[in-house]
A and B are shown apart, each in its own frame.
Chain A
Amino acid sequence: MSTISREEVARLAGLARIDLTESELTRLAGELDVIVEAVATVSRVATDDVPATSHPLPLHNVFRPDVVTATLPVEEALAAAPAAEDGRFAVPQILEED
């Protein structure tokens, strides 16, 4: 039984902003299906009475004081930019406003 269709992979690739070729879509759908079925076993033991653990070790209240530290020189900040202009990162046109 297939749980992840090719269309589903295409939707996920869109969410994850990754262009996939037709053959990648097909292959990934098959592979993910196997993986998802295997990992679905977690629901067998993950009953309501078990709390979730998101941190392996229980720390809390880790803060830093509100103190200004050294900044990156602007030329270092921009050094790896694919494109830059006037001290800013140049990016392709943005069609959708958030």
Chain B
Amino acid sequence: MGDLTRLSAAALAERLAAGDVSSVEVTRAHLDRIAAVDPAVHAFLHVDAEGALATAADVDARRAAGEDLHPLAGVPIAIKDVVVTRGMPTTAGSRILEGWVPPYDATLVERIRAARLPILGKTNMDEFAMGSSTEHSAFGDTHNPWDLDRIPGGSGGGSAAAVAAYEAPLAIGTDTGGSIRQPAAVTGTVGVKPTYGGVSRYGLIAMASSLDQAGPVSRTVLDAALLHALVGGHDPRDSTSLPDPLPDVVGAARRGATGDLTGVRLGVVRELGGEGYQQGVRRRFEESLEVLQAAGAEVVEVSCPHFEYALAAYYLIMPSEASSNLARFDGMRYGLRVEPADGPVTAERVMAATRGAGFGDEVKRRVILGTYALSAGYYDAYYGSAQKVRTLVQRDFAAAFEQADVLVSPTAPTTAFRLGEKLDDPMAMYLNDVATIPANLAGVPGISVPNGLDEGLPVGFQVLAPAKADDRLYRVAAALEARLEERWGGPLLAQAPELEVTR
């Protein structure tokens, strides 16, 4: 039967449907893998073996009874801890929510449960999704399976590492400025940020409401499409949810896998590359362009002059919204409550003591920055101006998409850096997201797909498409994946060093 954890979700789904394996076997294999490698990787904050196996057993029983099941029924999944799960602890990587068990499910979790995917557990992340390395989790670092001394990216380092380490075939991530795509790039996995409004935000613990978007994390482009199709689509509980039907992302992934991109115009964004990008990252990008051209794609250069200001605008809008979204963690209704060390115990002082003790450094930094940006007298100069930059970034995208069907760039400027390397330099940490942030500001979809190694560490290739044209991402990424795997003789992850197994 081989190692079930090495199979893609699509392959597992096929074997489950054919009756070759049971969901209990598949789920148990992944739980065993978690037990074996997670002490070293620390991708999970919470593992729900019992719940996952119960769902798996239920799926097996239903399948045996001949029930019509969702194609992914029985395929296990991991969920980033920023997504609320009824009856399962949800902390968003923060001390302030330690032990909180939500009384409701996020819409995407409802859909996952309805399709009967066993939920393995909740994955580690930077506290409230603030960070690019998962080092800002209150519950310890996650380690990159390619090199345990290195970061798995962030904020969704847990989901990416879990998938890369074969602890789960599928995971859910969230992406506010790159938190799905950048971890995918540095762990050699696939991550998709759908069009804003394409996947319901109901039940996502908000960082920046106008930027946050949940999406799939997987090892293959087709798996990402299958999960995207499951969790995406309109939700009346999210006012910003798109009413449009989801494009056929699965069909696009299958079509792309034929390796033919004849007639597709790729726009290389001049501003997302060059200086500041590691040499090996640039080299892999150039090679990928050649591969795509060989597949029939046409390459044009486009310019997005205002992307230069995107990072600055992002670091005003995101903290501003976050300062407001995180205000509810005040120790009154749920989560941590800390009384001041001395002086009267009043609601005001308990709130401040709770937030002082419950939030980590990066959260404090961003909340204070956001408070400053929204504060009387600064609003126009900061938040107001940032919203204007957003308009300019959108215009740049609109102009670029007149010349090209999709835009392409490296996903991240560097490969995985060492744990602790950038922890004391917030600006250096923020620069990790320079290529991913424009998509969040404009609401357009993006994917990161592995495109090689640089000094033994994975590099990611980013594809961006116009809003609501998520299918284009899948077609181009699947074509690149197919052609590169042909060249490599298998998936990039096969080149990763074997993790030591703890028993």
Contacts and interface: CB of A to CB of B under 8 A. Distances in A.
A15 B377 CA distance: 14
A1 interface: no
A94 B369 contact: no
Nearest to B363: A18
Interface string A34-53: 11101111111111001111
A59 to B, nearest CB: 7
Counting chain A CB atoms within 10 Å of each CB, the highest count among B357, B365, B389 belongs to B389
Contacts of B355: 16-19
Interface in A1-29: 4, 8-9, 12-21, 24, 28
B93 interface: no
A74 B350 CA distance: 24
Nearest to A76: B103
Interface string A82-94: 1100000101111
Given A16-B368, A52-B391, A55-B240, A46 B210 contact: no
A35 B371 CA distance: 14
Given A28-B364, A28-B368, A57-B242, A46 B385 contact: yes
Nearest to A31: B426
| Range of interface residues on A (Cβ < 8 Å) | 35 or more
Given A32-B365, A36-B369, A81 B348 contact: no
A57 B467 contact: yes
A53 B444 CA distance: 14
A80 B334 contact: yes
A64 to B, nearest CB: 7
A9 B145 CA distance: 39
Nearest to B370: A16
Contacts of B242: 57, 59
A41 B312 contact: yes
Contacts of A91: 332, 347, 350
Contacts of A4: 372
Contact of B332 (A9, A43, A89): A89
Given A72-B103, A80-B333, A15 B371 contact: yes
A72 to B, nearest CB: 6
Contacts of A8: 372
Interface string B355-394: 1110101001101110110010000011011111111101
A21 to B, nearest CB: 8
A44 B309 contact: yes
B331 interface: yes
Interface in B216-246: 236, 239-240, 242-243
A94 B236 contact: no
A9 B375 CA distance: 12
Given A36-B372, A52-B384, A64-B236, A94 B323 contact: no
Counting chain B CB atoms within 10 Å of each CB, the highest count among A52, A57, A81 belongs to A57
Interface string B239-275: 1101100000000000000000000000000000000
A53 B385 CA distance: 10
B368 A45 contact: no
B351 A17 contact: yes
B349 to A, nearest CB: 8
A21 B359 CA distance: 13
Nearest to B426: A31
A62 interface: yes
B297 to A, nearest CB: 27
Interface in B266-293: none
A66 interface: no
Contacts of B344: 93, 95
Contacts of B387: 52-54
Given A41-B312, A91-B347, A34 B381 contact: no
A43 to B, nearest CB: 5
A59 B197 contact: yes
A53 B309 contact: no
Counting chain B CB atoms within 10 Å of each CB, the highest count among A15, A16, A93 belongs to A16
Nearest to A41: B312
B337 interface: yes
A35 B309 contact: no
Interface in A62-84: 62, 64, 72, 76-77, 79-83
B103 A19 contact: no
Interface in B91-123: 100-101, 103-104
A79 B426 contact: no
Counting chain A CB atoms within 10 Å of each CB, the highest count among B104, B323, B364, B430 belongs to B364
A52 B411 CA distance: 27
Contact of A18 (B236, B239, B336, B356): B356
B422 to A, nearest CB: 13
Contacts of A19: 340, 352-353, 355-357
B24 to A, nearest CB: 31
Contacts of B443: 56-57
Interface of B: 100-101, 103-104, 195-197, 210-211, 236, 239-240, 242-243, 306, 309, 312-313, 315-316, 323, 327, 330-337, 339-340, 344-353, 355-357, 359, 361, 364-365, 367-369, 371-372, 375, 381-382, 384-392, 394, 426-427, 430, 440-443, 467
6 contacts: A32-B368, A34-B426, A35-B315, A55-B240, A56-B210, A93-B347
Given A32-B365, A62-B240, 17 more contacts: A12-B372, A13-B368, A28-B368, A31-B426, A36-B369, A40-B312, A45-B388, A46-B389, A50-B388, A50-B391, A56-B443, A89-B333, A91-B332, A93-B344, A93-B345, A94-B348, A95-B346
